[in-house]
């Protein structure tokens, strides 16, 4: 009787142990899949829709530096993360495409020759365009753990120095300096379709509402915003908008809430994403030295139903659905003409600025700021610049930041770093 009871107790203990193990394994798997999309699958503009919004827990408190890595180059590309690896590169000189451990900043691998634009990633791989030889460039798929090149497509003047590929629905989309828009199979690199003779305003692409958007026109058109069928490359609609000062070429588009939104010089336009019908437009102007100034607007961030942009006068925001102005954060934070990207994460907006620099240092931005959108309070600021051989005055701007859970990764003139709580 005693032995039978002991056997039953042992069996029950084994069952409970096995059940607990299964429960733990399932919970861990669920937690892994529940990780924010920006952690598993990312794009150089936050989302494929180009909203510069990241699903990551924000860094709200004054940060500390978790690690810093001397990259050995000044002109950095955008940063994406896949499988715990940061992928970026050098956009000039001999350069290269590089992979870094996101936890430590240690360089894991490198691919020779400079990157063009920046990388993109899906759940398992990274994609980039890098120099091959003279005017030859190649689109490559990269294993993020090893840096092994999985496939290559090579062509004259492929890619663009101002944009990354875009990966969506098993395809890699690319705008190129050879005036082509192309689609490739993400698994094999097989070309799927191409449009030739395109007039591209901004080479950054956006994907949303089942459509591919680019700022520019196809051959034979003077329209400046175009929607394509991603399966075939067929034009679905195009529009020709023009700001009140006569400038009509759009900056990168963002897609959200059934609308596609683009900056044009000092104005923001919103169109119905399905039809191209105009919905609203708003302008940023300010009196300066007795004249009405029309500042160039930087790239958009869309979060919480609001469209944000920045200029040398500060940050403005409009309700996405109606165009009603609902946000104003004045200040000379971003005075450079470069297309600075803001990044949003759960109610916090990260942006780059130069408010701490004296006027004689010029308009380059040496600081990163975190702004609480609900209260309009600055949560913290971080001096990103480090005087070195590339930047003796310590004023070179940070252009690319990558929000991750409880942290922020950024580049600055030869420096790659991670901030954390």
How do residues 160-200 score in pLDDT, each as one tens digit?
988 899 999 999 999 999 999 999 999 999 999 999 999 88
Burial class (CB in 10 A: 0-12, 13-18, 19+), 142: buried
pTM, whole model, 2 decimals? 0.86
Among 166, 162, 169, 170, smallest CA distance to 139 is for 166
- Model confidence band, residue 31 (pLDDT cutoffs 50, 70, 90): very low
Tokens in use for 344?
């949003």
Flag whether 14 is in a domain: no
Query: Residue 255 is part of which domain span?
Result: 40-420
- pLDDT at res. 333: 61
> Among positive and negative, which fits the CA dihedral 187, 190, 195, 196?
positive
3-state secondary structure of 189: coil
| Mean pLDDT of the 84-101 span | 92
Flag whether 338 is in a domain: yes
Flag whether 28 is in a domain: no
End-to-end CA distance of the chain: 59
- pLDDT at res. 200: 87
Flag whether 4 is in a domain: no
Total tally of structural domains belonging to the chain: 1
Flag whether 373 is in a domain: yes
- Model confidence band, residue 41 (pLDDT cutoffs 50, 70, 90): very low
Flag whether 9 is in a domain: no
* CATH number, domain containing residue 55: 2.130.10.10
pLDDT of 81 higher than 90:
yes
Flag whether 18 is in a domain: no
Flag whether 7 is in a domain: no
């Amino acid at each position: 009787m005693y032995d039978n009871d002991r056997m039953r107790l042992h069996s029950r203990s084994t069952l409970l142990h096995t059940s607990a193990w299964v429960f733990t394994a399932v919970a861990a798997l669920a937690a892994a899949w529940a990780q924010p999309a920006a952690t598993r699958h990312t794009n150089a503009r936050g989302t494929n829709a180009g909203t510069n919004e990241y699903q990551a827990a924000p860094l709200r408190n004054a940060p500390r530096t978790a690690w810093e890595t001397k990259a050995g180059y000044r002109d950095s590309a955008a940063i994406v993360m896949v499988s715990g690896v940061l992928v970026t590169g050098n956009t000039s000189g001999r350069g290269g495409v590089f992979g870094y451990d996101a936890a430590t900043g240690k360089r894991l691998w490198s691919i020779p020759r400079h990157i063009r634009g920046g990388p993109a990633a899906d759940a398992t791989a990274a994609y980039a365009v890098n120099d091959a030889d003279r005017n030859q460039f190649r689109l490559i798929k990269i294993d993020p753990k090893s840096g092994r090149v999985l496939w290559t497509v090579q062509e004259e003047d492929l890619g663009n120095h101002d944009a990354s590929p875009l990966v969506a629905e098993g395809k890699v989309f690319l705008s190129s300096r050879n005036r082509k828009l192309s689609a490739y199979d993400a698994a094999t690199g097989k070309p799927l379709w191409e449009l030739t003779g395109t007039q591209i305003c901004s080479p950054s692409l956006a994907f949303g509402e089942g459509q591919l958007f680019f700022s520019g026109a196809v051959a034979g058109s003077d329209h400046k915003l175009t929607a394509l069928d991603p399966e075939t490359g067929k034009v679905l609609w195009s529009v020709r908008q023009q700001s009140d000062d006569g400038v009509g070429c759009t900056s990168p588009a963002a897609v959200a809430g059934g609308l596609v939104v683009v900056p044009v010089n000092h104005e923001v336009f919103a169109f119905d994403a399905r039809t191209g019908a105009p919905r609203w437009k708003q302008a940023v102007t300010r009196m300066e030295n007795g004249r009405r100034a029309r500042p160039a607007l930087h790239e958009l961030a869309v979060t919480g139903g609001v469209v944000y942009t920045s200029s040398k006068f500060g940050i403005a925001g409009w309700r996405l659905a109606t165009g009603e102005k609902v946000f104003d954060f004045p200040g000379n934070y971003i005075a450079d003409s470069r297309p600075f990207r803001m990044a949003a994460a759960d109610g916090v907006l990260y942006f780059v600025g130069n408010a701490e620099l004296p006027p004689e240092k010029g308009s380059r931005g040496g600081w990163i700021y975190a702004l609480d959108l609900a209260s309009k309070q600055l949560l913290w600021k971080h001096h990103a610049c480090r005087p070195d051989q590339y930047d003796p005055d310590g004023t070179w701007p940070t252009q690319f930041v990558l929000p991750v859970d409880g942290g922020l990764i950024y580049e600055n003139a030869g420096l790659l770093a991670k901030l954390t709580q």
